Amino acid sequence: MDKETTLLNESQAPFAGSGEVPYDRYGDTSAGIALGDGDFQINFGPQHPATHGVLHLVITLNGETIKKVEPHLGYIHRSIEKMCESLTYRQFIYVTSRMDYLSAHINNHACALAVEKGLQVEVPARAQVIRVLMDELTRIASHELWWGAMAMDLGAFTPFFHAFRERESINDIMEETCGARLTMNYMVPGGVMHDLHPNFQKRVKEFLQLYKRKIHEYDELVTGNVIFQNRMKGVGYLSAEDAIAYGVSGPSARGSGVSSDIRKLYPYEIYDKLEFDEVLETAGDSFARYMVRINEMHQSIRIIEQLIDNIPEGDFQAKTKNVLKLPKGDFYTRVETARGELGLYIVSEGGNTPYRIKFRSPGFSNLSVLDHMARGSKIGDLVAMMGTLDLVIPDIDR
């Protein structure tokens, strides 16, 4: 790291004192930097392969050094929150698969949990185990795609095929049970929509075997690669204080040593009975965030192995009324998606549709730190930072 980078990245006081005009630390505000001599602006996206969707960044540069990154959102904004206000508690879950499409199961899970909390429905043990199994398979699939796509952004094309080979078998498992490969819509208030496919256990075990045979290839191909490490280590430093102040969650925060796994801190379903570790790295750079996700895949495998032979018999869905009506009040649930903390805030007036719904999506907060992280770095490193923040644009825009 050169001197300038160190200066810009040193931890900022999270509290600047009340009443002061914020952000005036480097003689500029976040609002806009006056373009100085030799400064210029470029557009990154919205149609750029490395943004993995339609994210538009306006980057102010001096030479190759980034002075500011300004995200412009809304290219895939569907106003899901507004749509949910006119959908019933059974219908609105299906919309949420389209938010973070790589964590579709976990988004559905958050909605189902929120409705169950409001109605105080007891979920059968079988459904709980199925839900956790599906969540963890989703997490692996999501991290696989992240791994392949991030390596591709950095210029290595082969890992993408390796990642998709394994991800494909997860998608096949999903397809058999849920009928869909991407937007599953499998979880409903009270349990899951229908029972597991008879092949489920067999195919998951086959997948575990395949995965264990192949996982070392990931480290051989990418993790241990010198070029890759040079591009990741020391790049995109994020201190623990900044991660908390910017609301960063999930693997991105755990790369900075912030304990933020909702599964551990505020356990839901059966996560408190399972044995798994919260993966923490303390370096705070891109490589730390990379290692967190790689190790999280191992932890997910651990969870699946504990459960796959112990799926209890019984109902897969609790009996609920045809028309669900949440009592008057506020309900907040938080779950851990592959990207971080997904919060769902429902305000109910007692009717069969929510009065107001707010999705606290992990991507939105994680994106907000990009400007702070990138200032002072070189433009070539921006892709590494975006890659390790694991941005999914429909999750940010909602």
Partner 1 sequence: MTNEELKIKLTELQPAATFEEGGEWVTINVEVADWLAFAGQLRQEEALFFDYLFCLTCVDWKTHLTMVYHLSSTKYRHNMVVKIKLDRNKPEVETVSHIWRTAEFHEREVYEMFGVNFLNHPDLRLLILPDGWEGKNPLRKDFDDPVNMIKL
Which residues lie near partner 1 (CB under 8 A)? Answer: 14-23, 29-32, 71-74, 77, 79, 81-82, 86-87, 242, 244-247, 249, 258-260, 265, 329-330, 332, 334, 341, 343, 345, 347, 355-356, 358, 360, 364-365, 367-368, 372, 397
Shortest Cβ 352–partner 1 spacing (Å):
13
Q: Is 192 exposed, middle or buried (0-12, 13-18, 19+ CB in 10 A)?
A: buried
For every residue of 220-280, DSSP letters joined together read IIIIT-HHHHHHHTTSS---HHHHHHTT--THHHHTTT----HHHHS--TTGGGS------
Q: How many C-beta atoms surround the C-beta of residue 275 within 10 A? A: 9
CB 314 within 8 A of CB 125: yes
- Cβ closest to partner 1, residue 179 vs residue 327: 327
Shortest Cβ 121–partner 1 spacing (Å):
16
- Cβ closest to partner 1, residue 176 vs residue 371: 371
- Tell the residue number behind the tokens 């623990």, with chain if given: 240
3-state secondary structure of 18: coil
Shortest Cβ 127–partner 1 spacing (Å):
22
- The first and second tokens of residue 302, run together, are 């651990």
- Cβ closest to partner 1, residue 114 vs residue 151: 114
Shortest Cβ 376–partner 1 spacing (Å):
17
- The first and second tokens of residue 164, run together, are 């998709």
- Cβ closest to partner 1, residue 203 vs residue 356: 356
- Cβ closest to partner 1, residue 77 vs residue 273: 77
CB 146 within 8 A of CB 362: no
- The first and second tokens of residue 176, run together, are 């058999």
Shortest Cβ 329–partner 1 spacing (Å):
6
- Cβ closest to partner 1, residue 59 vs residue 145: 59
CB 85 within 8 A of CB 357: yes
Residue 219 DSSP one-character state:
I
CA atoms within 13 A on the CB side of 68: 18
Residue 394: is the preceding peptide bond cis (ω within 30°)?
no
- Tell the residue number behind the tokens 């020391």, with chain if given: 234
Residues 6+ apart with CB under 8 A from 56: 43, 44, 45, 46, 71, 72, 73, 75
Shortest Cβ 50–partner 1 spacing (Å):
21
Shortest Cβ 164–partner 1 spacing (Å):
31
Shortest Cβ 59–partner 1 spacing (Å):
16
- Cβ closest to partner 1, residue 200 vs residue 237: 237
- Cβ closest to partner 1, residue 84 vs residue 173: 84
- Cβ closest to partner 1, residue 151 vs residue 393: 393
Shortest Cβ 242–partner 1 spacing (Å):
8
Shortest Cβ 17–partner 1 spacing (Å):
8
Q: Is 325 exposed, middle or buried (0-12, 13-18, 19+ CB in 10 A)?
A: middle
Is residue 269 left, alpha or beta, with left meaning phi > 0 and alpha meaning psi from -120 to 50? left
- Cβ closest to partner 1, residue 17 vs residue 198: 17
